[in-house]
Amino acid sequence: MPEQTIKSRPVYSPLQLDPGGRRHLLVADGEGVAERGLAPGTAAADFDERWTIVSHSRAIPSPDEGVSEHGFRSLPHLLAALRRRLGDERMGFRLYAVGAEPFLWTINALAGELGLGGAEIHLCAVGPQARRVFCNHCRTITEGVTTNVVTCAGCNASLFVRDHFSKRLNAFAGVQVDAESPGEIPDIEELYA
């Protein structure tokens, strides 16, 4: 679980069912992922429905009412179904997501667009801690960053990877590390594996 170093770095808690809600949907970005994000005493079966990205092409969600497990081929495949589901849902609904940090904030953005507020969305980060890095200078997002300094995929600046995180952009800020003394780059460390 990532630590909070500054206030704009999200912190996560293992998920429990929100007792105020009436219908609960749990989404996860891989098989076996959901369980790693649940609090002791909370089981995946406690949620009315579970949607999982299973990453193979034959996966297909069930068309029947009342089925609680659904598999999706990929993130876009799941998002299309989630958009429709949230559009049809009523007040009293709660959405839960478990997976890598970028997955969570993609889900969060869709949920916010469809009217859910902070109290109706619950997120828990598990898995790889690689970061998406937004270059403050050219706006390119560099994916899968595990080091403290990374070369921007857009403008080639050596970017220091900050802990300042934007939920809207779903990325950490990257600022040129050697603007004042060109070429002076700190030692590269693997921090976010």
Could you list the residues that contact another protein (CB under 8 A)? Answer: 6-9, 20-23, 86-87, 89-94, 114-120, 134, 136-137, 139, 157, 162-164, 166-169, 173, 175-176, 179-182
Residues 57, 34: Cα–Cα separation, whole Å: 21
Nearer to another protein, 76 or 92 (CB): 92
Residue 41 region, left (φ>0) first, then alpha (ψ -120 to 50), else beta?
Answer: left
CB 79 within 8 A of CB 110: yes
Residues 127, 87: Cα–Cα separation, whole Å: 29
Give the largest Cα separation in the chain, rounded.
63
Shortest Cβ 73–another protein spacing (Å): 26
Nearer to another protein, 7 or 58 (CB): 7
Per DSSP bridges, beta strands 93-99 and 23-28 are: parallel
Shortest Cβ 49–another protein spacing (Å): 15
Shortest Cβ 114–another protein spacing (Å): 6
The SS3 call for residue 109 is helix
Within its chain, how far is the Cα of 112 from the centroid? 14
Nearer to another protein, 33 or 161 (CB): 161
Q: Whose structure tokens read 């619950």?
A: 122
Nearer to another protein, 64 or 88 (CB): 88
Shortest Cβ 100–another protein spacing (Å): 20
Q: Quick one: DSSP state of residue 68?
A: -
Nearer to another protein, 60 or 186 (CB): 186
Shortest Cβ 30–another protein spacing (Å): 26
